[in-house]
Amino acid sequence: MPRRAWATMLWFLLAGAPLPARAAGTPNLLPLGVVTQASGAHFNAAKVSAGSTIYDGDGLSTEAEGALQFRGSAAQLYLPGSSGVTLHGLPMRTQAQLQTGTVVFSTAKAAAMEIIADEALIRPGADGPTVAQVTMIGPKELQISARRGVLQFAYAGETEKIAEGASYRIVLDPPEAAPPFPQRPPVKAGRENKKFKIIVIVAVAWATEWALHEVFESPDRP
């Protein structure tokens, strides 16, 4: 093993810190946070466990019955089963690109976290405790729920606010004459613009209550 890698590993062991998920010696990368809970979960192609440090560009995913929780400096994420994100460190915030499935996020700072899903941007609408869930339910089709706090949704230059307690199903780039949607939970009448169509959902299934307990336990101290 190269001398630099040995030195890095020795530093972590002496400091009592968890070893990074990325191989030691990776240059010029700052950690984004750590995995705090993991079951049936992966870092890139490898199994991941609680205590692993995550860096810019790393991917996190879960198996069908898996779950993972990640804690950053000012936000935390939860992935239920069959979900995946890629994390990026941006100035003053963390960006999570949702690749598949569902992500729940919690933060108290509007600028601390943003979610990218199918090129749409979802982030807190204001400072204050925020808990939200974003799900990719089909090609160009998202389900977004604001459990706590207001969200801001943006796509192709158009924006929309999602009020606290609201759940939307959003179709991106809808055709002019779309066929009826498959059977879904009851919905209210929606609205649309040229870039996306919004349908207000009356009932929505959240990720496990365990996850909600974790993100609600201290939403202003993620």
Q: Determine the pLDDT at residue 52.
A: 96
Q: Determine the pLDDT at residue 217.
A: 57
Q: Determine the pLDDT at residue 200.
A: 81
Strand blocks (E) in 75-216: 75-79, 84-90, 93-100, 102-107, 113-117, 120-124, 130-138, 141-148, 151-155, 158-162, 167-172, 191-192, 196-200
pTM of the model: 0.77
Q: Determine the pLDDT at residue 11.
A: 39
Tokens of 38: 């993991």
Which regions of the chain are under pLDDT 50?
1-19, 24-25, 177-178, 187-189, 210, 219, 222
Q: Determine the pLDDT at residue 193.
A: 58
Task: Select 29-216's CATH number: 2.60.120.1440, 2.40.10.220, 3.50.50.60, 1.10.40.50.
Answer: 2.60.120.1440
Q: Determine the pLDDT at residue 13.
A: 38
Q: Determine the pLDDT at residue 199.
A: 87
Q: Determine the pLDDT at residue 27.
A: 52
Q: Determine the pLDDT at residue 201.
A: 77
